[in-house]
Amino acid sequence: YGSTSGLVQRNPRFSNLNDEDVRYFEGILGAKNVIQDDEKLISANTDWMHKFKGSSKLLLQPRTTDQVSQILKYCNSRCLAVVPQGGNTGLVGGSVPVFDEVIVSLSSMNNIISFDKVSGILVCEAGCILENIISFLDNEGFIMPLDLGAKGSCQIGGNVSTNAGGLRLVRYGSLHGSVLGIEAVLANGTVLDMLKTLRKDNTGYDLKHLFIGSEGSLGIVTKVSILTPPKLASVNVAFLACKDYSSCQKLLQEAKRKLGEILSAFEFLDSQSMNLVLNHLEGARNPLPASQYNFYVLIETTGSDESSDKQKLEAFLLGSMENELISDGVLAQDINQASSFWLLREGISEALMRAGAVYKYDLSIPIENLYNLVEEMRTRLGNAANVVGYGHLGDGNLHLNISTSKYDDKILSQIEPFVYEWTSKHHGSISAEHGLGLMKADKIFYSNSSDTVQVMVSIKNLLDPNHILNPYKVLPTSLTS
């Protein structure tokens, strides 16, 4: 599969599942929530990209926190390894078993618990699908501070556990800011109730942050409280073309200055990404067909005053045309057109999957240097692959993807470790928003000092001393076996 998954070995400390274990789980959950059915297990064992495949024989579907607690307490005492699973849309092989780990799916814990219209604070169970929360909030006149292409399947618990970034981070910040509280179950079954609904709370160490972005390696998130912004009256989406990367960069600077408080997304894609979407995604249409441009930028604004917001955006667009930062552009006239612009950006991952094999890198790089990596990679690989660059430019997050007809070790050796070394040398991060999962567990040192990683290992040892939670992921196995 072109990944490093072949390199880890099953840790012999973990027990093998037996009939008695299955009976115990049936006793807690009822037989219908203890799944051994082949069909369901095949999909739960396989990740979204079909790159990582486990061989788990058991999928558990708890409905309450207490059930999660009983499951983990038992697994810990039996030394049975566990993979917490949300919507299984993760892109780094974190959500599927590597070997025979028991899969604990949060899908059945999908209730909204409360919503306070005054504060905008939502409390819900971890298995709520992001899109369902978005619809619920829409009815209440609020929005989620988080939006991403996988919204139809991913769950809020998975979002929190990966610290997902997505399309609105430039405006609303990361989940470390909007998540106000978490309920999580530790490996030994202890339920940590940190489900606060306060904006300010400086009472000791803020432990919830350990669970945001720890990819199921420290506990299972069962409930979340999250601060949601009100839905504002005017949303505008513009799709723009730029002649070169330097123009995209200057456009971002201008957008931050001229659109300021109404800017809610600043996304980019290069012409290679655009061609890929147009060639592989049904319904995708280039709104700027007059010429082949090198870069495209999608800008969204969200504000409270329809006429002044539009005026502001139009003045910004006009100014940017005059300064030649934009070569061409179109402003969505209705919600359908806005969605068709978003499809071009959000549909890239799907288009890449359809195009064949894909090597995926999710990097934070200081914006000035961000696109140099794409160009260097193109030079390195020549005709051997289609190198595409897109991402959350407003956040300095590049998605570098290398598309080939099939996985090939020779191509992989041209990409890695070069891509990680380059990113590290430029003071970037080898995982901006997708996490480390299995794919990059042993690459953690490219972005963290050994002292930092050692503290992470100590935290892991404290919260999960038997290392039953999501083994082989996040931290190098050499430090956690």
- Provide the token pair at 264: 């809610």
State the residue number with the nearest CB to ligand FAD. Answer: 158
Contacts of 437 (CB under 8 A, 6+ apart): 90, 91, 92, 93, 94, 95, 215, 473, 474
Contacts of 438 (CB under 8 A, 6+ apart): 3, 4, 5, 8, 52, 92, 93, 94, 98, 472, 473
Out of 54, 84, 120, 303, point to the residue binding ligand FAD (CB under 6 A).
Answer: 84
Chain centroid to CA 151: how far? Answer: 10
- Which CB sits closer to ligand FAD, 49 or 317? 49
- Which CB sits closer to ligand MLT, 120 or 394? 394
**CA–CA separation, 120 vs 116, rounded Å?**
5
**CA–CA separation, 241 vs 297, rounded Å?**
6
Beta bridge partners of 298: 239, 267
- In this structure, how many other beta carbons lie within 10 angstroms of the beta carbon of residue 379? 8
Contacts of 278 (CB under 8 A, 6+ apart): 284, 285, 286
Q: Does 302 bind ligand MLT (CB under 6 A)?
A: no
Residue 22's closest CA among 14, 9, 31, 13?
Answer: 31
Q: Does 391 bind ligand FAD (CB under 6 A)?
A: no
Q: Under DSSP, is residue 368 helix (H, G, I), strand (E, B) or coil?
A: helix
Cis peptide before 417 (omega within 30 of 0): yes
299 touches 263 (CB < 8 A)? yes
Interface positions, 107-146, toward ligand FAD (CB under 6 A): 126
Interface positions, 42-71, toward ligand FAD (CB under 6 A): 48
Binding at 476: pick from ligand MLT, ligand FAD, none (beta carbon under 5-8 Å per type): none
**CA–CA separation, 412 vs 71, rounded Å?**
39
Out of 97, 145, 149, 389, point to the residue binding ligand MLT (CB under 6 A).
Answer: 149
Binding at 54: pick from ligand FAD, ligand MLT, none (beta carbon under 5-8 Å per type): none
- Which CB sits closer to ligand FAD, 100 or 433? 433
- Which CB sits closer to ligand MLT, 11 or 271? 271
- Which CB sits closer to ligand MLT, 63 or 399? 399
Q: Does 88 bind ligand FAD (CB under 6 A)?
A: yes
Q: Does 158 bind ligand FAD (CB under 6 A)?
A: yes
Binding at 2: pick from ligand MLT, ligand FAD, none (beta carbon under 5-8 Å per type): none
- Provide the token pair at 431: 């995982």
Binding at 399: pick from ligand FAD, ligand MLT, none (beta carbon under 5-8 Å per type): ligand MLT
- Which CB sits closer to ligand FAD, 309 or 395? 395
Segments in 179-305 forming alpha helices (H): 208-211, 245-258, 271-280
Q: Does 94 bind ligand FAD (CB under 6 A)?
A: yes
Q: Which stretch binds ligand FAD (CB under 6 A): 1-9, 164-172, 262-270, 376-384?
A: 164-172
**CA–CA separation, 233 vs 220, rounded Å?**
37
Out of 349, 386, 404, 480, point to the residue binding ligand MLT (CB under 6 A).
Answer: 349
Interface positions, 387-406, toward ligand MLT (CB under 6 A): 391, 399
Residues at the interface with ligand MLT (CB under 6 A): 149, 348-349, 362, 391, 399
Residues at the interface with ligand FAD (CB under 6 A): 48, 83-91, 94-95, 106, 126, 148-150, 154-155, 157-159, 161-162, 164-166, 215-216, 220-221, 349, 433-434, 437, 470, 473
